[in-house]
Amino acid sequence: MTSTRASVRLSISSLRAHKRRFAGTFVAVLLGVAFLTGTLVMGDTLRASFDTMFGNATAGTDAVVRSSNVVTVAGESQGTRQPVSTGLAKRIEQTPGVAAAAPDIQGAGQLIGSDGKPVGGQGPPTLAGNWIDDPKLNPYRLAAGRAPSAPGEVVINRGTADRGGLGIGDTTVLRTPDPVHVTIVGLATFGGQDGMGQVTYTAMTQADAEKYLTPKPGEASTIQVRAGPGTSQQELVDALRPVLPKGVEAITGQASAAENRDMISGAFLSVFTTLLLVFSGIVLLVATFSIHNTFAIVVAQRTRENALLRALGASRRQVVGSTLVEAAAVGVIASAAGLAGGIGIAAGLQALFPAVGFPFPEGALVISAVSLLLPLAVGVLVCLGSALLPAVRAGRTAPLAALRESAADDSAASRARALAGLVLLVASLGTILTGALADVSVWLSAAGAVSALAAFVVLGPVASSYAVRFLGAPLDRLRGVTGRLARRNALRSPRRTASTATALMIGVAVVSLFTVFGASLKATMNGAVDRSFAGDVAISAPAFGAGGSGLSPRLAPAVDRLPEVATAVGLGKGVAEVDGAGRALTVTDPAALGRVFDLGRVDGSLKGLGVNGIAVSDIEAGKRGLHTGSTARLAFTDGTQQNFTVRAVYDRSELAGDYVITRLAWAPHRAQDSDSLIAVSFKPGVATAVGKAAVAKTAAAYGNPDVQTRSEYAQSSAGGIDMMLTLVYALLALAVLIALLGIANTLTLALHERTRELGLLRAVGQTRSQLRSMVRWESVLVAAFGTAGGLLLGGVLGWVLVEASVGTGDTAFAFALPPLRLLVVALVGITAGALAGRRPARRAARLDVLRAIAAE
């Protein structure tokens, strides 16, 4: 007990004496923990807000009646359901226990804002439906104006109105995707908010909705049912079940709300929070290296102090204990500050999001015990874990060390380390190559990647002496003795240099991994357009497959009739289960497809598929064992099943998709009709600019979709990647910042060790600016080593990711190294190194010469 108290007292007095040394550690833990806490709190708050929102909005709906046939395609958050008859509502209203029932028609409809540009459609859905007059069954509430009562009248949610610059009385166009001229007569709210997140919503009369949003009148997506007094939701569902026709089901309002909520959580929140959690993990990993380094140096510098303690009778355990208590104290204090910071971040984001147009639902921050205890535990563990090895080393201090002169850790890289690192590196490269090329598996590759990182860490001290010597070689000539001194100083303790650089290496590796992967994705998309798109211009719906309402199916024929145009082919989307698995279908004119797409080698013929012919991509055909002449059984959402004969097998599926059927074959099963892409080729002699202008003029009447040339089309399909990369860079900036704090901290500690040397240098004529330059160059060298390692590791891992994706994905994936971007990463790393060296350099330059020489 007393011995523990002695350890604690020792560590506290040491902390007090060396506050400065631990500043870097403190900040690293604080930032990591703050990031983690912020992520958890924000995730919980968003989830709770959505719960409340959906709860409020759908509180009046006690049961939802819908088709039980659903086809789910991999990669889509919600399955496609067949509509139900609107007539069913009448029958349901007569069922005992039912107070009211209303058909609910849901489709896609994108509004054109007052500036002529479509509102939304960059991700969240753009929905349209019928305005339900029963306020308890309608999740939307009128906030201003009135409900639509005449054809062409609509109510839109308030958030959409704000974003599109639209107001009551305005007329605009709603793409359903056929352009419909509408007049706004009212504004609505959802669950008390301006909208359901970023989703845009337009409600029309039921007649309009049936006309524009369903393939044929008399159909609705679901029927919303309200129970009479005294009937519970479950009782209502039980009562409805016997009256519903085959293929139609009823679920409680609560279950429906939960499904909707899960869809949002699944599609948006979990991706978002997982991404943030991964990045806080990276930040904490980087922090671990920085912290470990600080403790290693502090322990080394305290060798004499610890030896004296041992000589005076302190047990090994007490010495280890005092270091660990120190780490724990730093961990607890920094984590606590990090918790506060994280809650602050979440509160800041809650305030910031609405300002940038993202309606973060209101409500108090949800701070669960997990979001407090987990980051606290992680912060303290990171600190203790980082300090464990240095603490054990401190415990091993021989009492005699008190009498020795040197206290600095200048241990070099051992042969055993080099050997172990090389074995690990070879093993991980083997694993990676197997996982990427031979026996393709993402997990195997990932395991290889992790062990490659470990190999880099083990090999760091060995590599650092070679790398610094090589990277610093030009310094001698450029900076003379200052450069030489900087290089020798960076070489002094390879282990220290390596572990300082490792933190930066991890940050840079992740940055370059994403850079390489993003560039490869882009190259793949560009390549796909290059290879497969044989047309001159493309009309594409924004955000393929997600938001937006697609293109009017009447646009392609209209463009086709233009005198400049040789062929215009629209591609729509359908879904069906092919031999039991949900698959996306391309609905088009297959005969004309070959004139605007280069499908590669085609077995059989795309002409005359008729109502029971299908064309299949080579890869998919191979997987399903299909070939020309064989039969595929398709099950549609309306419950019908039909055999299709494979008439053609084509090579390139990147733009055409895996299954192609005719519009005629799809017509009986279609929902809201739309095309997602129209490929246009011009007649010979028509200049692209002229043809494009003509197409754009025609398209203007159909809601003004974008008309793009080949290269514009290629770029726009890759546009989302840059956005993703920007987000990743912003998140990783924090990891890099922590790494740089680590460099600055290590440098400060190292300079402290070299105080006398600095004094000597100044005495024999080193100017302050030479000294500053020397320290900065040392920092640059360490940063350059970390950056180089990171680029190498990130590049290799990027290649692995691409190769592993090629193996598991359906499409060819091109690997691309973006030289310019990687050069920028390298320059940023090195410049940041110079910045990290600035403060230690300034402090060192301020040293008083005499006091420095006399320093112990």
Partner 1 sequence: MTTTVPTSEPTPTPTSTSAAFAARVVDAVKLYGTGDTRVRALDGVSVDFPAGRFTAIMGPSGSGKSTLMHCAAGLDTLTSGSAFIGDTDISALDDRRLTLLRRRRIGFVFQSFNLLPTLTVAENITLPLDLAGERPDPEWLDALVDTVGLRDRLHHRPGELSGGQQQRVAVARAFAGSPDVVFADEPTGNLDSRSGQEVLWLLGRTVRQAARTVVMVTHDPVAAAHADEVVFLADGRLVDRMSEPTAERVLDRFKSFAPHPSRRR
DSSP string, 492-517: H-HHHHHHHHHHHHHHHHHHHHHHHH
d(CA 235, CA 654): 50
Minimum distance between the CB of residue 460 and partner 1, rounded to whole angstroms? 20
Phi and psi torsions of 63, nearest 5°: -150, 155
Helix (H, G, I), strand (E, B) or coil at 708: strand
Minimum distance between the CB of residue 408 and partner 1, rounded to whole angstroms? 9
- Residue corresponding to tokens 């938001």: 547
| Residues at the contact surface with partner 1, assessed by CB under 8 A | 480-482, 484-485, 488-489, 491-492, 756-757, 760-770, 849-850, 853
Q: Which residues pair with 66 in a beta bridge?
A: 222, 249
- By beta-carbon proximity to partner 1, the closer residue of 485 and 679 is 485
Minimum distance between the CB of residue 510 and partner 1, rounded to whole angstroms? 34
- By beta-carbon proximity to partner 1, the closer residue of 817 and 849 is 849
d(CA 106, CA 216): 14
Minimum distance between the CB of residue 742 and partner 1, rounded to whole angstroms? 23
- By beta-carbon proximity to partner 1, the closer residue of 274 and 767 is 767
Question: To the nearest 10°, the Cα dihedral for 531, 533, 535, 538?
Answer: -140
- By beta-carbon proximity to partner 1, the closer residue of 364 and 850 is 850
Output the CA–CA distances (angstroms, integers) from residue 769 to 487, 691, 777, in the order listed. 17, 64, 12
d(CA 396, CA 567): 81
Name, in order, each residue with C-beta under 8 angstroms of 162's C-beta and a sequence gap of 6 or more.
Answer: 194
- By beta-carbon proximity to partner 1, the closer residue of 304 and 488 is 488
- By beta-carbon proximity to partner 1, the closer residue of 474 and 557 is 474
Return the closest-CA partner of residue 389 out of 297, 490, 284, 493: 297
d(CA 847, CA 853): 10
- By beta-carbon proximity to partner 1, the closer residue of 685 and 765 is 765
- By beta-carbon proximity to partner 1, the closer residue of 12 and 849 is 849
d(CA 80, CA 251): 17
Q: In terms of residues, how long is the chain? A: 856
Minimum distance between the CB of residue 24 and partner 1, rounded to whole angstroms? 24
Neighbour-count burial of 475, counting CB atoms closer than 10 A to its CB (0-12 exposed, 13-18 middle, 19+ buried): buried
DSSP string, 618-634: HHHHHHHT--TT-EEEE
Minimum distance between the CB of residue 750 and partner 1, rounded to whole angstroms? 12
Minimum distance between the CB of residue 284 and partner 1, rounded to whole angstroms? 35
- By beta-carbon proximity to partner 1, the closer residue of 437 and 760 is 760
Tokens matching residue 196 = 């359901």
Phi and psi torsions of 811, nearest 5°: -100, 155
- By beta-carbon proximity to partner 1, the closer residue of 121 and 759 is 759
Minimum distance between the CB of residue 778 and partner 1, rounded to whole angstroms? 11
- By beta-carbon proximity to partner 1, the closer residue of 472 and 547 is 472
Minimum distance between the CB of residue 484 and partner 1, rounded to whole angstroms? 8
- By beta-carbon proximity to partner 1, the closer residue of 262 and 476 is 476
Minimum distance between the CB of residue 300 and partner 1, rounded to whole angstroms? 16
Answer positive or negative: Cα dihedral of 586, 591, 596, 601: positive
d(CA 524, CA 228): 57
- By beta-carbon proximity to partner 1, the closer residue of 1 and 764 is 764
Element (H, E) at 179: strand 179-190
Helix (H, G, I), strand (E, B) or coil at 766: coil
How many other CB atoms are found less than 10 A from the CB of residue 372? 18
Minimum distance between the CB of residue 322 and partner 1, rounded to whole angstroms? 30
Minimum distance between the CB of residue 764 and partner 1, rounded to whole angstroms? 5
Name, in order, each residue with C-beta under 8 angstroms of 362's C-beta and a sequence gap of 6 or more.
Answer: 49, 193
